[in-house]
Amino acid sequence: MSALAVTGLAVAGAPDVPDTAQATDAVHLADAATDHTCRTDGSAPGSERRSPEGHDGELTPEQAADHQAQLEEALGTDRGRQIAPPQSVPVVVHVVSAEDGEGDVGRERVEQQIQVLNDAYRGVYASGEEATDTGFGFELTEVTRHSDDAWFHEFSSNRDTIRAELHQGGPETLNIYTADLGSGVLGFSTFPQDVESSPEQDGVVVSYDTLPGGSRENFDLGHTTTHEVGHWLGLFHTFQNGCESPGDYVDDTPYEREAANGCPVGRDTCTGRPGEDPVNNFMNYTDDACMTHFTPGQAERMVQHWAGFREPRV
């Protein structure tokens, strides 16, 4: 297996923004800590990914361009400095369960989830050129447990309160919350751009049954967390902006018109663009077993977001 480790990236200047993005007025999210909700259970191919508020949770082209502008501004202070992923990202997992014990995932499954994260971000699930080692590693530092029926069954309605009470650490600490998110939502995440305005809301939320060994069919290997942590580190979906430039702002992920369900290997929804759809990419909507890798470009983008928004300042 060959792997590409992304370390020691030199930031000579802010990354270029395609002309289409530069010409678009920046539109800030209505709520700075608006969660990016994604991935249903895939029971209906092409089914919509609905957030708890009833909108689809996707970023508009204007919102994505605004995120890019914020990244450029954040990296402006890092010109000429060598940047690299952290040796280890501290992780705090908050297990929210029902009072009858439903959802009280054990320590072993939590540790298995952290192992899945480490394997995914080191390129273990792919081979050859696709086996990209992003350089990111994750270390479980604490597991907290909270038994509350309202919090467990209605997490989305109480999420601001829950996260404000339970959140630990600074921008460099990954807070993961597990609960019952209902049948249509697998997880949601904040972006690095949100952390300054709403630090107590920063983190990733996943349905408890998506952890390794869970009961969510096709989504029981732990890659819902892999996917949401990708957002937490700044990545868009591979199908961001569809077939239109600048896509997901990553040069080595082929354009994709819409999310993929199942594992439609060989699908090509942007025939005027090079490459088949990146259905095996962790930032798609395919089944866990279909997901295998990030690209070097995605690894670089995650490092840029870490340097711009999450790296502790000395």
Known catalytic residues? 228
Cα distance from N-terminal residue to C-terminal residue, the chain: 37
The strands making up 174-179's β-sheet, listed across from edge to edge, are 36-38, 187-189, 204-207, 174-179, 89-97, 138-147
Query: Do 11 and 304 touch, CB atoms closer than 8 A?
Result: yes
Q: Which secondary structure element, helix H or strand E, spans residue 37, and what is its range?
A: strand 36-38
Q: How far apart are CA 117 and CA 128, in angstroms?
A: 20
How far is the C-alpha of 255 from the C-alpha of 274, rounded, in Å? 8
Nearest 5°: the CA angle 65, 70, 76 is 125
| Helical axes 61-75 vs 296-305, angle rounded to 10° | 70
Which residue's structure tokens are 């501004």? 73
Neighbouring CB atoms inside 10 A of 14's CB total: 19
As a dihedral over the C-alpha atoms of residue 305, residue 12, residue 253, residue 203, rounded to 10 degrees, the angle is 0
